[in-house]
């Protein structure tokens, strides 16, 4: 069990699938991260490494129906996933802020606090100004 306001190391397996204009790309990551609880909210933090770039990534598990994803690289994103809901989100690039609409089509979270193990899957669609950007899927597994 994780003590309050403490973190423990976990192995993180992340798969992202992106479909844009009929082309599908899949990325796989295996990283070491930290799982912890701050003021009753669970966080999973890790560094995503692609080539020579390392990007800090955080997932905040608010409850079974809401998860927030934060990425803080050259491009920064702050996405809120709510099961079967549309949310307004931000994607910051070196060229400015892009506002995106995110429609969560499916969200599943299975989390065992005692064992520090869990899985998260989300399927969502991004739109900008009403125009489709793409369809996305994130599959995340972690264990101590």
Best CA proximity match to 33, nearest among 54, 11, 14:
11
CB atoms under 10 Å from CB of 40, counted, come to 7
> How much is the pLDDT for 99?
94
> How much is the pLDDT for 142?
97
pTM for the predicted model, two decimal places: 0.90
Give, in degrees to the nearest 5, the angle at Cα 118 between 28 and 122. 60
> How much is the pLDDT for 5?
64
Q: In the CATH scheme, what is the code of domain 7-143?
A: 2.40.128.20
CA–CA gap between residue 60 and residue 81 (Å, rounded): 10
**Which pLDDT band, with edges at 50, 70 and 90, does 74 fall under?**
confident
Q: What is the pLDDT of residues 82-99, one digit of tens each?
A: 999 999 999 999 999 999
CA–CA gap between residue 79 and residue 100 (Å, rounded): 9
**Which pLDDT band, with edges at 50, 70 and 90, does 101 fall under?**
very high
**Which pLDDT band, with edges at 50, 70 and 90, does 65 fall under?**
confident
Statement: residue 71 has pLDDT above 90: yes
Identify the residue with better confidence: 115 or 24.
Answer: 24
Q: Quick one: three-class SS letters along 51-78?
A: CCEEEEEEEEEEECCEEEEEEECCCEEE
Residue ranges per structural domain of the chain:
7-143
């Amino acid at each position: 069990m994780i003590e309050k306001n403490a973190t423990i190391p976990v192995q993180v397996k992340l798969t992202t699938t992106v479909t844009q204009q009929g082309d599908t790309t899949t990325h796989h990551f295996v990283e070491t991260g930290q799982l912890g609880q701050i003021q009753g909210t669970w966080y999973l933090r890790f560094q995503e490494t692609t080539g020579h770039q390392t990007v800090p990534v955080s997932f905040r598990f608010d409850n079974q129906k809401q998860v927030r994803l934060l990425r803080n690289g050259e491009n920064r994103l702050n996405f809120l996933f709510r099961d079967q809901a549309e949310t307004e989100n931000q994607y910051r690039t070196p060229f400015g802020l892009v506002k995106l609409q995110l429609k969560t089509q499916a969200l599943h979270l299975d989390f065992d606090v005692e064992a520090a193990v869990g899985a998260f899957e989300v399927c969502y669609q991004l739109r900008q100004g009403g125009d489709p950007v793409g369809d996305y899927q994130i599959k995340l597994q972690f264990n101590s």
